[in-house]
A and B are shown apart, each in its own frame.
Chain A
Amino acid sequence: MAVTRKKTDWFPYMLLVPASLLTLVIVAWPLVETFRLSLTDASLRPTTNFVGFDNYKKIFAGTFPTIIARTFYWMAISVSLKMLFGILGAVLLNAAVPGRTLFRVLIMPPWIVPIAIGVFMWGWMYNGQFGMISGMLQRLNLISEPFEFLAYANSSFLSTIVTDVWIGTPLVTVYLLAAMQGVPGDLHEAAWTDGASRLYRFRRITLPLIMPAVATMSLLSAIWTFNSFDIIWILTEGGPRGQTTTMIIDTYKTAISRFRYGEGAARAVMIVIFLSLFSAFYFAMISRIGKREVGND
């Protein structure tokens, strides 16, 4: 079938019709429409006017720059923690100790169960009067009175991060574990014969070889974290006093809760711009890693 035919073969295009149709309606068209709406004053009113870049001027004169900074701050802490715990977890689960198969099964639930339900559980954990964390800290005499984690700026910011890390870490862990298991065993054996310590082997063999997987996962994780909605919405709805409001939460509030579609769309466009930068970075990295691997073969 490799013979090139003069006439265009329509069969592969036909195979793509169902997937294209669905993604055009649900993703591509809304994406274009977001850009268009961001240049209008669309709201619940029946008439919509073209307003140029007014929405952008408006949001950048307001709180939006703070929210952008906060979103990056939130994402940076969350992704760093996920990668740190993920690498630690993968090292631990990669150790040849009895019971490791069971441990590998046990780490996945946070990622498997519906996100919203995991967050309900955390909602109770953070409860100041009766929740587990505040209760345990009181019993350990670390705090003297109930602490309502979701009521204060700093603690609610950290609490939403902890829950996001809880949901994201299992995937990072199994991904990096798979990468570690792909490291050829004979490399370790050769180093071991030469008397290299375990820590030295990890630093000089395992870590360099899983670096592409770490880099890939960091970027994917950054993209997912940037898009994260459910966790903050259920725990705090962006509060207290907007202190956990990220770009996504702000967009949703503006558009869906306050019906300011135009201003909401301008926020969404900013998110899309940041996400495209991440993705450009991601694709560039993937192709670089791919080339290096081809070179090694």
Chain B
Amino acid sequence: MINRYRWWEYVLIYAGIATFLAFVLAPFLEAFLVSMRPIDALFSIPYRFVTEGMNFDSYVTMWTSVPLLWLYMLNSLFIATAVTLLALFTIIPAAYAFSRFEFKFKNGLLAGFLAINMVSGAVLIIPLYKVMQQLGLLNTYFAMILPGAAFVIPTGIWLLRSYLMKIPKELEEAAWVDGAGRIYTLWRVILPVALPGIMVVAIATFIAAYAQQFLFALTFNSTNELNPLPVGLYQFFGQQTVVWNELMAASLVGILPVLIVYIFLQRYIVAGLTAGAVKE
């Protein structure tokens, strides 16, 4: 058969996959091993994978060494959730407009939104800082949520627009014939049908918002109680004596929420990422 491999081809494929996965997963394995080592075993030479006296102590002591750890984690979740909700609130109507209506400057506006993808927050950091200052948003959650949401809008509009274009127009026309208003139609007729597409956008947005919580928090926020996990831990990273085993334990616990979301919803995530790779 076309997909039958000879034995050496199996060996090659599995060896290739194993090498690839080793590169991808090595840092996670190392972080896990480090988190299990007592601090003096950590600084022992020569290097070995398994050291004596491995235990889960760092997962207990980290809560006292990093007193605000639980707060950083909650902040991360809160910021990512708020970014997702705000982004959806702007993406859904915009994607609906681009998928359903003909209006002046439509293509220009769409290109304008997509062009946002080309710049990052780091490029605009100076005036962005001033905007935040003038709006009085420095050292508030908003300084992390608003820019976070703005930079995920283009991808969201693009994804949802292509999904909405597949929904038959007759659906709205039937609703209009029945005398439904246009907002009502969007809310009660289109949204329920588009729910799978909205899910993809929401998950992709959440993952992106959770992954990119460094720059804006680092620059716009100096109130430690509001810091998301990456910046919260970064302060410890820079210190002279880094308690590596606890830092790694905290890092691993901090990535659990997204890993769980990913494992359960990976089908949606991959769908969101690869939209556009295949010609429909």
Contact = CB atoms under 8 A, between A and B. Distances in A.
Interface of A: 1-2, 8-9, 11-23, 25-27, 29-31, 33-34, 37, 85, 88-89, 92-93, 95-97, 103-118, 120-125, 129-132, 134-136, 138-139, 146, 166, 169-171, 174-179, 181-182, 188-189, 192, 213, 216-217, 223, 227, 229-230, 233-234, 248, 251-252, 255-256, 261, 264-265, 268, 271-272, 275-276, 278-279, 282-283, 293
B144 to A, nearest CB: 12
Interface residues of B, number: 105
Query: 3 tightest A-B contacts by CB?
Result: A135-B47, A116-B230, A182-B278
Interface stretch (B53-61, B63-71, B90-98, B194-202): B90-98
B22 to A, nearest CB: 11
A95 B13 CA distance: 8
A112 B214 CA distance: 15
A295 B130 CA distance: 49
B111 interface: yes
B186 to A, nearest CB: 8
B255 A124 contact: no
Give the interface SS of chain A, mostly helix, strand, loop or mixed.
Answer: helix
B124 A34 contact: yes
A118 B259 CA distance: 13
Interface string B6-49: 00001001101100110111111011001000000011111110
A236 to B, nearest CB: 12
Given A103-B21, A132-B47, A275-B118, A15 B93 contact: yes
Nearest to A259: B126
Contact of B153 (A23, A116, A170): A23
A223 B147 contact: no
A107 B113 contact: no
Interface string B211-252: 111110001000000000111011001000000100110010
Nearest to A175: B277
B146 interface: yes
Given A1-B173, A16-B109, A27-B119, A95 B91 contact: no
